[in-house]
Structure 1
């Protein structure tokens, strides 16, 4: 277990964390609705506006692990409040940017602050929730994030249409203010203060962050960056400061569930690439139909996440995570027979959503329970990086399949992703603690 100290569960920090995570995760998608009008006003094309999304996700993935190691050394309360304030300031910079490069700078700052929130995720839960209730806590966080996320993109569209694209980057500020207020009142400090990162940690940011950034950009038609990622990762691995993280990911009971998280997250390639093209090109649906179909999936995730957390506390996170993998595979297999219409597609995706709802809460609880004492932040950073890599690789793999088999791309893509998720289940079986 992460710690032997007795903890009395307090739910207000969990709500605070859920609101903060809602802000962080919806920022990944809600900005997309502003891209056309943003590009028109600032005079940039679609290729450039894509960096509005990448400018947020890349730093968030790149520095998640160093941010987690920093959080393990300092007062997590101060780090969390600093992150929320940073998101607020960066959002204002983005919203009022007079030129495109200032907007991109604001998005990068948002991503850096968001990485700090992700790094504080596990330490806050560990400090506020007793071990027997941590599955429930994570389930509640995911449920609030998911339900709130359901309204994010539609509300962003309404805001952009009524008040302009700049309002999209300000719409989360009321939620951010509530989270900041609750954090000040409910989170407990440990007296360690807010010491800045040392030179060793900055070097980790440069090398490991550069390696992860290069790896993710390699899937943006820059394959040569894989070699850069490997070189930077090797250099990082030779740093003395990398040993705690390397020691963590070399432990079989942590490494294999982490691999499971990466592989199962790749199933997002179905949702973010295969389904939209299938609905529009094969079923003749509209973009609105795509949104409705995906909404059914997301609803399944939201409904099951809180249930999954309670089940994980009662029956064990490993067993519930494995059940989530199995149901996800069933949902994928259900997509192989001919799909006759939107309703037919929706109920099959709902099954997959149930599987993902079971899996997400349980795998987070499992990885949290396997983190050594004093390394909850590092474990959270590693988990966030694994999830980001999976969510990037999945759509890239699906796109390659579609390009290679234009006639049966959907079915072939489902088969490939099913195999990937099955391999994730095998890894989870191999990682069970004896």
Structure 2
């Protein structure tokens, strides 16, 4: 056999696939900076209110201008991401997020800042949709858990660093640097993605105009759901308003489900390999939303802790996630997603149940270790569940699955505070009567256990390109 035949002939060995950890780090940095940005704004609001001479009710739009478009555009962003080259799309997303951050930092009025925050949210939605899909094409299935663990740990790390770091930046350098700090991180993430993420033959193309209708319906459904739950907590006339808003949410969601671009999402949710894991993620996020809303009231009004002590105590929740998400990913690669997810759910349930008797007789340490227990369970669930979802999803729907996962997490974090506030309102918000509110979290934790126990014990490998819709069809072409 000639040398060329030895190299090019049918018996030539295919190159071994390799893990592209630079791509994983790029995704982790993107998750980190979007989490920082989401959590740092609350610290900056008083300073921004003085800067723009705006009322607190007006300043809430700095947050809503980011949160609402994220919910509205994340699934259309996933639909777009499935039809384009992931490397180019990811670089575009982080570059756009960095440029939008500059626009926010250079805003001369509240109106300009709100508009810039909307632009920032659009690119943030694209990042959230692309992260899991980009990791999935950059590492081997045997190391998927470890890669997912990196991303799952950097999100809560950003959430924990954001408020404290933002306060220091505002004091030392001015509020603009709360947003400008995003730029160098985006540059590094973009460079790493360009050099490490595998390229494909797909090109970037403009989004479909019809996706604006999808975004509007999804935005209405999400906003009406959260606002409806909040109105229920007002009781009296709020019950009627809440009922109307919940009906509006259901109607908007039903209209969206009838649209063409909802079909791939419905296809994923009909897959038992995916829907049980998504349910587990949702209920785990709901519990975390309950704890982050209710526990500061317990610490400050019940136990009498200072604001700074309260902030450090709440960090125990994030610390548990940061430590256990990478560990959960490593163990997922070794033992599988199902046992790690169920173990995480049991830790979640234990922490939630142990929070039920919370009251003024507790100390800060009593709260901290319980939060750390929930954080550990959440970290195990996040890395194992996202690994299971991506290994059970057809490659041509990877960005849609990633977007759906991010949407489920965001909805859980939003529903948790609203539902626990309603339960607390029913017992007159006495700090000594938090058990009904914490019971909402315990129920969510129990549902997490049930959902993950019902999940398949083995995540099937994602079907090949021939299974499910083709790439153009998946992208809504």
TM normalised by structure 1 equals 0.94
Detail structure 1 runs of 4+ shifted over 4 Å in the superposition.
Answer: none
Of the structure 1 ranges 345-354 and 140-149, higher mean CA displacement relative to structure 2 is found in: 140-149
- Equivalent positions of 1:129-168 (< 5 A) are 129-168=139-178
CA spacing shift, 1:419–1:75, aligned 2, 3 Å: same
Deviations 1:52-81 (A, max 9, x none): 112112111211111111100011111111
- Which of 392, 402, 409 does residue 380 from structure 1 map onto? 402
- Which of 189, 196, 204 does residue 179 from structure 1 map onto? 189
Which of the pair has more CA radius of gyration? 2
Q: Is residue 266 of structure 2 the alignment partner of residue 271 of structure 1?
A: no
Of the structure 1 ranges 235-244 and 305-314, higher mean CA displacement relative to structure 2 is found in: 235-244
- 1:218 aligns to what SS in structure 2? helix
- Equivalent positions of 1:35-434 (< 5 A) are 35-221=45-231, 223=242, 224-337=244-357, 340-405=362-427, 406-407=429-430, 408-432=432-456
CA spacing shift, 1:145–1:231, aligned 2, 3 Å: closer
- 2:402 aligns to what SS in structure 1? helix
Number of aligned positions between the proteins: 430
- Taking the aligned partners of 1:6 and 1:203, their CA distance within structure 2 comes to 44
- Taking the aligned partners of 1:241 and 1:163, their CA distance within structure 2 comes to 45
- Taking the aligned partners of 2:214 and 2:144, their CA distance within structure 1 comes to 30
Query: C-alpha displacement at 1:172, in angstroms?
Result: 2.1
Equivalent pair of 1:7/1:127 in contact (CA under 8 Å):
no
Equivalent pair of 1:119/1:378 in contact (CA under 8 Å):
yes
Query: C-alpha displacement at 1:26, in angstroms?
Result: 1.3
- Taking the aligned partners of 1:208 and 1:150, their CA distance within structure 2 comes to 29
Equivalent pair of 1:200/1:241 in contact (CA under 8 Å):
no
- Taking the aligned partners of 1:298 and 1:242, their CA distance within structure 2 comes to 33
- Taking the aligned partners of 1:291 and 1:205, their CA distance within structure 2 comes to 35
Equivalent pair of 2:35/2:156 in contact (CA under 8 Å):
no
User: Could you list the runs of 5+ residues in structure 1 that have no partner in the other structure?
Assistant: none
Deviations 1:268-300 (A, max 9, x none): 233322110000111011111111111122111
Of the structure 1 ranges 216-225 and 133-142, higher mean CA displacement relative to structure 2 is found in: 216-225
User: Could you list the runs of 5+ residues in structure 2 that have no partner in the other structure?
Assistant: 1-14, 232-240, 459-477
Query: C-alpha displacement at 1:191, in angstroms?
Result: 2.1
Deviations 1:201-255 (A, max 9, x none): 3432233344334334434546333333222222222223322211111222311
Deviations 1:122-163 (A, max 9, x none): 221111010111110011122233334433221110111122
